[in-house]
Chain A
């Protein structure tokens, strides 16, 4: 086991009756990274998170969290944002935050102080005395995330943190997440928004039907799925270039086309050839590395085909 691992999951499986929700899954989450868990609905993401949090026990396999099996004191070092959100409704914001903070082992004074500081950061200082039910939905979501990090945990596990957030609040949340990471915190998040994964996450695990489909650094995986092709945009008879086997218009590019290369050709050759040819002009030239969305769709559809 890697001593640098915040979470180490070792061959876990979980079934509900005859339904195998998680099937022999192994992975590690390193300290200080943002780790994405991807997969279609019902793939087993939430079940895996709940097993890490000891809400559920795996049928087989082992999980180590922050250096050992999950104990009472480990729980105090973890923050959890469940997929289904909820807060007390008829309670004042500050009162609720302090209560949930103390349940994570904070002293009352400390919880009070941290809650006020956090509300300040969220731009909600003047809402502290309001009842939760009086807050707008966006505010409630910010409070919800606030509760997750209030007790300054080492690790947070957040299930679909961006779902339902408007763009402005998404930015606020993103800032908070990076801030948490920069202070050495580890983040495990599940999401459907691939753009967020590409932008924020260091490594990812993609599961489908409880099984591991992709696992590793985000960049490495994108490279793995890279086509032997380049994307160009500009003017020229692309098909006449040496080493190009096929020209394919890009689905959502304006004038961009995808140039499939012959096995021995490289992107450098193509670029050199374009540069050498006076009747060709390029405005854009890049490796045809698919975005995660494409990979996601390819993996899921591949599994269903």
Chain B
């Protein structure tokens, strides 16, 4: 077999079996499932305690509820009480969960008091609001359905340049999707390129590197590693994609998640950006792994790079409010922040095609440069141990591509 493929195969199989990888691949989706499940349970639970199947009281001193109409399909029912004392007694005996007090001047001020032992859930407030609205609208001469007065706008947004249709029902999903994509992007490119760097640091500090480079060329080693771990990253994506599909199907049961789907354009852009920036990160990490002195030092660099990658998250609200602001535009063109910026912007609004194209082009050129430079640094640094390497030295190495550097055991030591 081709030696590059041998390295790729080894890197893939070895890292596939690692505990940290298995956790990232399977632990994260399971964890997400659990969190979502807990959220649903808590949400439906809060609906039940002070929501459905419960009677609530009201004391009307304003007179508008003298002959009330009820909202037909509401799960909550509202019972009148003559005065506060009787309502309070019913509350204390847990006949009702809460009661509302409409004072005499309600029509003028709109002020309503509520009394309960538990906190008042939003659903109940909404239900009482609907109840009031149904009764108030009787005083208005109109043929319009009460429903329209209660909810005059159900908006469906059509951003014409993206071709996507956004309805109010899937708006919460809308915020989630780009976040999920960005998270998956970060996790998977970080995990794999981190493995790549760790592997190189280990091979250098174990000194097995010297045996490797007398069997294969540094380029074969580098390409094999990038390839093997790239396939590993894709494996992770496939598993997560599958988990995501299951989650969506399960999610259809819940109105909250109804609108969640994977928009195709977002998927395509995601995969392309993922692949290109994986190569960027992997070759960068390989170059760093070839010159840092220790595992610890390499982790510092890795977290620094992750920090740069997540910069777009700091401006999340800016992106939601204005996906086409100057800041968003700038971050879309800077190689390390562009993948996540583009993904977030595409989710929240629409991104003109030319911007995606330019962003991708800049990313691609940067990636090619980093691969080229890293290959030189990689070759040079493989056999150098325990030596601090300055940035100027690195620039010289990238510029002139010297032969492999070695550490000397001799007492008389050269300066480089």
- Which A residues have a C-beta under 8 Å from some C-beta of B? 15-19, 21, 41-44, 46-47, 50, 53-57, 72, 75-76, 78, 80, 82-89, 91, 99-100, 102-104, 147
| Nearest CB in chain A: distance from B214 CB, A | 5
Which of B7, B14, B214, B409: most chain A Cβ within 10 A?
B214
B157 interface residue per 8 A CB criterion: no
- Chain A residues with CB below 8 A from B1, complex form: 102
Residues on B with beta carbons closer than 8 Å to the beta carbon of A47 = 406, 408
Contact between A103 and B3, CB atoms less than 8 A apart: yes
Least CB distance, B220 to chain A, in whole angstroms? 9
Cβ-defined contact, B214 with A75, below 8 A: yes
Which residues of the other chain, A, contact B412 by a CB distance below 8 angstroms? Answer: 19, 42
Question: Is A80 touching B10 in the complex (CB atoms < 8 A)?
Answer: no
The reply to whether A89 and B206 contact each other, CB–CB distance below 8 Å, is: yes
Cβ contacts under 8 Å, A53 to chain B = 214
B410 pairs with A42, CB closer than 8 A: yes
A sample of 27 cross-chain residue pairs with beta-carbon separation below 8 angstroms, ordered by A number, consists of A18-B415, A19-B415, A21-B408, A21-B410, A41-B409, A42-B409, A42-B412, A44-B410, A46-B408, A46-B409, A47-B408, A54-B214, A55-B214, A55-B383, A56-B404, A72-B217, A75-B214, A75-B215, A78-B214, A80-B214, A84-B207, A86-B207, A86-B208, A86-B209, A88-B203, A88-B208, A89-B202
Describe A's contact surface by its main secondary structure.
Answer: loop
Q: Which residues of B contact A (CB under 8 A)?
A: 1, 3, 6-7, 10, 14, 202-203, 205-217, 383, 385, 403-404, 406, 408-416
B207 touches A17 (CB 8 A): no
Q: Is the CB of A56 within 8 A of B414?
A: no
Instruction: Decide: A55 and B404 in contact? CB cutoff 8 A.
Output: yes
State the Cβ distance, B44 to closest chain A Cβ, in Å. Answer: 46
Assess the B408–A16 pair: CB atoms within 8 A: yes
| Contact for B406 among A18, A56, A91, A104, CB less than 8 A | A56
Question: Closest residue of chain A to B217, judged by CB?
Answer: A72
Beyond A18-B415, A55-B383, A103-B215, whether A82 also contacts B410 by CB under 8 A is: no
Residues of A within 8 A of B385 (CB): 84
A-B contact sample (8 more), CB < 8 A, given A55-B213, A75-B215, A82-B211:
A19-B414, A43-B410, A44-B410, A80-B214, A84-B385, A86-B211, A103-B7, A103-B216
Q: Which residues of A contact B215 (CB under 8 A)?
A: 75-76, 100, 103-104
CA separation between A78 and B207, bound complex, in Å? 18
Known: A99-B10, A103-B6. A41 touches B411 (CB 8 A): yes
Q: Are A82 and B416 in contact, with the CB atoms below 8 A?
A: no
CB distance from A303 to the nearest CB of B (A): 13
Q: Which residues of B contact A87 (CB under 8 A)?
A: 206, 208
**A16 and B211 within 8 A (CB):** no
Neighbouring B residues of A89 by C-beta, 8 Å: 202, 206
Q: Are A16 and B415 interface neighbours, CB within 8 A?
A: yes
Contact B406 A55 (CB under 8 A): yes
Cβ of A74 to closest chain B Cβ, rounded Å:
11
Query: B406, A50: Cβ atoms under 8 Å?
Result: yes
CB neighbours of B202 from chain A (8 A): 88-89
Residues on B with C-beta less than 8 A from A72 are 217
With A17-B416, A41-B409, A103-B6: A91-B14 Cβ-Cβ less than 8 Å: yes
Q: Determine the chain B residues whose CB is within 8 A of the CB of A54 once the complex forms.
A: 214
Assembled-state Cα–Cα distance A72/B205 (Å)? 25
Chain A, Cβ-Cβ closest to B6: A102
Do B210 and A80 have beta carbons less than 8 Å apart? Answer: yes
- Given A55-B404, A86-B207, A147-B211, the answer on whether A16 and B416 have CB atoms closer than 8 Å is yes
With A17-B415, A100-B215, A103-B6 as contacts: A88 and B410 at CB distance below 8 Å: no
Query: Nearest residue in A to B403 (C-beta to C-beta)?
Result: A57
Residue of B nearest to A144 (CB): B211
Closest to B404 in A: A55
Are A17 and B414 in contact, with the CB atoms below 8 A? yes
Question: In the complex, what distance in Å separates the CA atom of A43 from the CA atom of B412?
Answer: 9
A103 touches B212 (CB 8 A): yes
- Bound form: Cα–Cα A102–B2 in Å: 10
B408 lies within 8 A of A42 (CB) = yes
User: Which residues from B are CB-within-8-Å of A55?
Assistant: 210, 213-214, 383, 404, 406
